[in-house]
Amino acid sequence: MEKISIGIIGAGRIGRLHAENIIHIPQVRIKTISDIFAENAMEWAAQIGIENVVTDYEAILNDPEIDAVFICSPTDTHVPIILQAAEKGKHIFCEKPISFSIEETEAALAAVEKAGVHLQVGFNRRFDRNFLKIHETIKNGVIGEPHIVRITSRDPEPPPVEYIKNSGGLFFDMSIHDFDMARYVTGSEVIEVYAHGANLIDPAIGQVGDIDTAVTTLKFKNGAIAVIDNSRKAVYGYDQRVEVFGSKGCITVENDRPTSAEISTEAGVFRDKLKHFFLERYKDAYISETYAFIDSILNSTPLRCTGNDGYQAEKIANAAKQSFAEGRPVKMNLETVKQ
């Protein structure tokens, strides 16, 4: 296959981001974009050279010319679309999480396995050059066996409460990236989860049944321990740091800034503020994950973020939610799925 045709389902912020990245890949064309508010996307789509914008995503799934789909619609639509796309033989890129239900995710992955199509889950941080360096360093044994993992992930400001209502909560919407990162850098599965949380930023978040601050401890099969801290509001910017301490050393990734310049004067020492949010911080990672997905289709290269990776992160998020609700550690089922 020399060139593939793509359909994008969902023309919100992430759908548009993917489209604007894909149009620069020579081996790919975006044939159709669907969105329930198609009229709002038409002008933007025309500006980037996409003529076909529809309301019904099934027009994409029923098009024999389309080889793969990007699912960028709300989470509660992911599984139905995956089931239909797999049945139609389409390769699938799906934003995280696959679903809020372990059973629904298992059904989706079974359909993907049966159809023999590719499914990549959108954990874009795996494709960040800094975190990839941590993964490769540990895999190559440079710092020995991982003992302690520290992950800090703090947003610059909380999303609107209307968004939070349908987000699945902090553990599924935000921490799930860090749960995946912890698995990615340790190369091991989680056996126990213990989560603490609070409302320290906005009482309205608590009124809709969620938290805005959390610390989660993970225990791994290989003996490593991870501590993850999350906040919906870091007033100084998008705070993204990872440290892995091992038997032979330690590796640390600090925050990205617009420049690495440091200015020292009588008044003090100054550096650029942190990048504001994920679209800036992970711009290159989004591009890399798209290229990796296309490469898996064109050249049958192994997926770097599989359906099972999405499944395991969801199980951790579910256990964290249960742990917080019940105030106790939760043991994990280590079952994996084929994909």
Give the pLDDT confidence score for residue 209 in this predicted structure.
95
Task: For residue 260, name the pLDDT band (cuts at 50, 70, 90).
Answer: confident
The segment(s) of the chain belonging to CATH 3.30.360.10 are 126-276+309-331
Q: What is the DSSP string of 145-203?
A: SEEEEEEEEE-SSPPPHHHHHTS--HIIIIIHHHHHHHHHHHTS-EEEEEEEEE--S-H
pLDDT at 337 over 70: no
Give the pLDDT confidence score for residue 56 in this predicted structure.
96
Give the pLDDT confidence score for residue 48 in this predicted structure.
94
Q: In the chain, count of helices (H) and strands (E)?
A: 13, 15
pLDDT in tens, 282-335: 999 999 999 999 999 999 999 999 999 999 999 999 999 999 999 999 999 876
Give the pLDDT confidence score for residue 279 in this predicted structure.
86
Question: Would you give the end-to-end CA distance of the chain in angstroms?
Answer: 22
Whether residue 131 contacts residue 184, with contact meaning beta carbons closer than 8 Å, is answered with yes
Distance, in Å, from the CA atom of 34 to the CA atom of 39, rounded to the nearest integer, reads: 10
For 288, phi then psi, to 5°, come to: -65, -40
pLDDT at 263 over 60: yes
The segment(s) of the chain belonging to CATH 3.40.50.720 are 4-117
DSSP E strands in 224-267: the ranges are: 225-231, 239-246, 249-253, 262-265
pLDDT in tens, 5-62: 999 999 999 999 999 999 999 999 999 999 999 989 999 999 999 989 999 999 999 9
Of the candidate CATH numbers 1.10.287.130, 1.10.10.10, 3.40.50.720, 3.40.50.300, the domain formed by 4-117 belongs to 3.40.50.720
pLDDT in tens, 95-131: 999 999 999 999 999 999 999 999 999 999 999 999 9
Segment 204-228 shows an average pLDDT of 97
pLDDT in tens, 68-88: 999 999 999 999 999 999 999
Give the pLDDT confidence score for residue 338 in this predicted structure.
54
**Taking the CA of residue 327 as centre, how many other CA atoms within 13 Å lie in the half-sphere pointing to its CB?**
1
Give the pLDDT confidence score for residue 9 in this predicted structure.
98
Homologous superfamily assigned to 126-276+309-331: Dihydrodipicolinate Reductase; domain 2 (3.30.360.10)
Distance, in Å, from the CA atom of 189 to the CA atom of 177, rounded to the nearest integer, reads: 15
For 40, phi then psi, to 5°, come to: -75, -15
Segment 259-281 shows an average pLDDT of 90
pLDDT averaged over every residue in the chain: 95
